[in-house]
Amino acid sequence: MPALITSPTHEAEAHALDLMEQVIGLYEWECERLGPSEMAAQAPGQWCDYNLFFTWSDELCALNLTCALDLRSPANHRTAIHELVALANNRLWVGHFSVEPETGIPSFRHTLLMRGVQTLPGESMEDLIDITLSECERFYPAFQFALWGGKSPQDALDAAMLDCAGDA
């Protein structure tokens, strides 16, 4: 990923979503401003294309990123998915997974609090995206195993977190 290069003066004057739009441009992903405080983008992944949704809150001075996984959980699997989300969240340092109540779509969410800061450096914006996509890629197989592989939430998580050693 090429680094975003901005001058301190430019960063101090730029809105968080303007900088995020520049970062998205470096990845060469599609993005669309949905309003002054909202932006959407699509990022390719190993398992699916991820839908990224950025929201800026003036009241909280915060930038929120929600990354929806391309999965829908049928109503009869929701209890297992909620249990899997709780287990997965115990393994995260930052951010959290949630499930959209109506559609059952799991997503990863993280918010950067920026009170007292004019804006974050481009590297922080890149980190926000990198961490989000890394966690989605890491846990996507667990969601698949629980939804379509017939595994319990714990078994799905254990299978997805299996670290292979050696060379084949």
Q: What is the pTM of this model?
A: 0.83
Q: Is 20 exposed, middle or buried (0-12, 13-18, 19+ CB in 10 A)?
A: buried
Torsions phi, psi for 106 (to 5 deg)? -75, 150
Tens-level pLDDT at each residue, the chain (168 residues): 455 444 443 443 457 898 899 989 989 999 999 999 999 999 999 999 999 999 999 899 889 999 999 888 888 888 999 999 999 999 999 999 999 988 889 999 999 888 877 656 677 888 999 999 999 999 999 999 999 888 999 999 998 886 655 565
Domains defined for the chain, CATH in brackets: 8-160 (3.30.1460.10)
Chain centroid offset of residue 118 CA: 23
